[in-house]
Amino acid sequence: MKKLLFKEEQEFDKRWLWVLAIVTVSAAAIPFIRGVYFLSVGNAPDDNPTSTAGLIISGVTVFIMTVIFILLFRAKLKVKITADKLSVCFPPLIRKWRAIKPGEIKKYELRKYHPNREYGGRGIKRRLRKGSAWTVSGRIGLQLYMKNGKRFLIGTQKQQALEYAMQKLMEKEN
């Protein structure tokens, strides 16, 4: 195994995620639960007719929203740099490590970025002119300019350690 120069794992801020999950899943679950109750007692009120199709749609909506929030709660940005490559993954959305060899990198910089303005938010984002970004929190990222013309931004909370590891990784290429 190659010498590990850098390792970082980041997770989304769970506080706002809990609030968002509770509000949105509740908004979808309450009509579903009411519909099941009225259907089970056999008397749906006249102002709120309960249909089987409506219940199915509500149930599927609750299920899909729950799965999305479970994925968000489990999502982590993982970055590691060894003596021969930089690797990133974003489980459970992207489980396979994406390896980037120093020979693929034209140049790099650590820079301040604006996630909403530049990429439309956090997570795994692609923009035509900006390239791809994998971010979770903060405003500092490792911007990679690839030899194939693509750009890739990786968010970090450990700016100095990442910068040191990238210098070590890239000096072997020069």
Per-residue pLDDT at 46 exceeds 70: no
User: What strands, in cross-sheet order, belong to the sheet with 151-155?
Assistant: 105-112, 140-146, 151-155, 131-135, 123-127
Per-residue pLDDT at 48 exceeds 70: no
Per-residue pLDDT at 17 exceeds 80: no
Per-residue pLDDT at 40 exceeds 60: yes
Per-residue pLDDT at 1 exceeds 90: no
Q: Sorting pLDDT into bands at 50, 70 and 90, what band is 47?
A: very low
Average pLDDT of the chain is 87
Among 39-43, 60-64, 134-138, the range scoring the smallest mean pLDDT is 39-43
Per-residue pLDDT at 34 exceeds 60: yes
Question: Of residues 71 and 105, which shows the higher confidence score?
Answer: 105
- Give DSSP secondary structure letters for 112-172: E--IIIIISSSEEEEETTTEEEEE-SSSEEEEEEETTS-EEEEE-S-HHHHHHHHHHHHHT
Q: What pLDDT shows up at residue 131? A: 93
Return the domain boundaries, the chain. Answer: 10-73, 83-171
pTM of the model: 0.77
Report the half-sphere exposure of 30 (CA within 13 A, side-chain side): 5
Over the range 130-139, which residues count as b (16 or more CB within 10 Å of their CB) and which as e? ebebbbbebe
Q: What pLDDT shows up at residue 27? A: 82
Pairing of strands 105-112, 151-155: unpaired
173 - beta bridge partners? Answer: none
Q: What pLDDT shows up at residue 112? A: 97
Q: Sorting pLDDT into bands at 50, 70 and 90, what band is 43?
A: low
Per-residue pLDDT at 163 exceeds 60: yes
The answer for residues whose C-beta is within 8 angstroms of residue 99's C-beta and 6 or more apart is 85, 86, 87
Placement of tokens 């199915």 in the chain: 56
A 10 A CB-CB count for 29 gives: 16
- CA separation (Å) from 169 to 6, 46, 86, 151? 10, 70, 8, 18
Give the residue-averaged pLDDT of 161-170.
95
Per-residue pLDDT at 154 exceeds 90: yes
Calculate Rg over the CA atoms of the chain: 22
